[in-house]
Amino acid sequence: MADLRRNLLAYRTVLASRARSQASHRASFRMDLVGAVLIGLIEFAEVWVLYTAADEIGGFTLAQVLLVFGLSDLAFSLADLVAGHCDNLPVYVRAGTLDVFFLRPQPVLAQLITSDLSLRRLARCLVGATAFTVGLVLNDIDWSAATIGLLVLALVCGFVIFAAQFVTAAGLQFFLVNGAEMTNAFVYGGRYAATQPATVWPRALLVVFGAIFPVAFAAYLPVSTLLGVPGVAGLPTWLGWCAPIAALWAVVVAGLCWRWGLRHYRGAGG
C-alpha cells in the first residue's frame, strides 16, 4: 500500500511540474487555450452548418445531434487530455527517447502517458461540455435516475473507449513508425465517426466503428436509447446500455496491441 502511494506520488509530482511549466509562459499559454477553443468551435460549426442546411440527417435534428456531438466531443477531449500524447510515440522511437523509459522501474505506458499533460486540451473540453449541456436543455428528456445513469455511463465508457484507441494506436505505431498516420483513421476518424448518427454509414463502416473500434457506443447509441430515436435497422433500442461491454472490448484490444508492440520493439540503436 505504501509502495503504491509512493508510486502515485511520483506520477503526481511529474504531472504537476508539466502543468506548471506550461502555465508559466503566459502569453503563449493563453494563445494555446484560445486556439483550442477556436478549433472546437469550428468543429461544432461544421455540424451546425450541415444540420441547418438539411433539417434532419439520419433521423437526427440539430438539437438531437447536439447531444451526440457534445457527449462524444467531451469524452474524446478528456481522453485526449489523458492519453493524447501517445501520438508522440513515433517521435520518441525515432529519437531514441523511448529507450530511456525502459531503464526506469515504472511501466512504459504509464511513463508515456505522464510524459506530457497538455493543459490546452482542458479548454477543448469546454466546447463539448457546452454543446452537451445545451443539448440537454433543448431536448425533451424524461429525467429519471435511469436517464442520469445512462448519461454518466456513456461519458465514462466514451472516455475509456477513446483513451483505448490512443493506446491501440501507440501499440501499432511500434510497427508503423513512418506510417503513423494510418492510425489516424480510427483515432481521429473515430472521433469524427462518433459525432455522426450511425444510420448514415455504409455496412463496412458499421463493422469498423460499431464493433472493431466501437466509437458508436461513445455517444450515438446511448443518445438513441435516451431519446428513443429508431437506430440502425435490426438493432434493439436498448443497445446504448451495452457501452460498458464495448469499453471492455476496446481496453482488451488496446492491451493486446500495446503488449504486442512493446515486445516487437528492439530499440532504435544507440
Partner 1 sequence: MRSLPPPARNPYWRFLVAGFRGQSAYPLATLAGLVANATFGLLKGGIMGAAVESSGGELSGYSAATMAAFVWLGQGMLGSVNFWGGSDLQARIRSGDVAVDFLRPVSVQAAHVLTDVGRGLFALLPRGLPSVVIGVLVSSMALPPDAAAYALGLVSLLIGITISHATVYVVATTGFWLVETRGVSVFYMALSGFFAGLFTPIYLFPDWLLTIALLTPFPSMMQFPIDLLSGQATGSAAWQHLGVQLVWLAVVLAVGHLTTRAGRRRLEVQGG
Residues that bind partner 1 (CB under 8 A): 25, 28, 31-32, 34-36, 38-39, 41-42, 45-46, 49-50, 52-58, 176, 178-182, 184-186, 188-189, 192-193, 196-197, 199-202, 204-205, 208
Provide, rounded to whole angstroms, the least separation between the CB of residue 119 and partner 1.
14
- Nearest to partner 1 of 56, 149 (CB atom): 56
Provide, rounded to whole angstroms, the least separation between the CB of residue 217 and partner 1.
16
Instruction: Assess contact for 219 and 154: CB atoms under 8 A.
Output: yes
Chain centroid offset of residue 199 CA: 21
Helices 26-53 & 2-23, crossing angle to 10 degrees?
90
- Nearest to partner 1 of 95, 181 (CB atom): 181
Instruction: Assess contact for 163 and 79: CB atoms under 8 A.
Output: yes
- Nearest to partner 1 of 71, 151 (CB atom): 71
- 215 secondary structure, DSSP code: G
Provide, rounded to whole angstroms, the least separation between the CB of residue 178 and partner 1.
5
- Nearest to partner 1 of 1, 53 (CB atom): 53
**DSSP-assigned letters across all residues of 149-207:** HHHHHHHHHHHHHHHHHHHHHHHHHHHHGGGGGGGHHHHHHHHHHHTS-GGGS-HHHHH
Instruction: Assess contact for 109 and 119: CB atoms under 8 A.
Output: no
Provide, rounded to whole angstroms, the least separation between the CB of residue 104 and partner 1.
30
The rounded distance, in Å, linking the Cα atoms of 147 and 149 is 5
Hey, what amino acid is at 254?
A
Provide, rounded to whole angstroms, the least separation between the CB of residue 220 and partner 1.
12
- Nearest to partner 1 of 5, 26 (CB atom): 26
- Nearest to partner 1 of 114, 183 (CB atom): 183
Provide, rounded to whole angstroms, the least separation between the CB of residue 199 and partner 1.
8
- Nearest to partner 1 of 68, 150 (CB atom): 68
Provide, rounded to whole angstroms, the least separation between the CB of residue 59 and partner 1.
9
Instruction: Assess contact for 93 and 175: CB atoms under 8 A.
Output: no
Residue 102 in grid coordinates: 525502459
What residue has cell string 494506436? 169
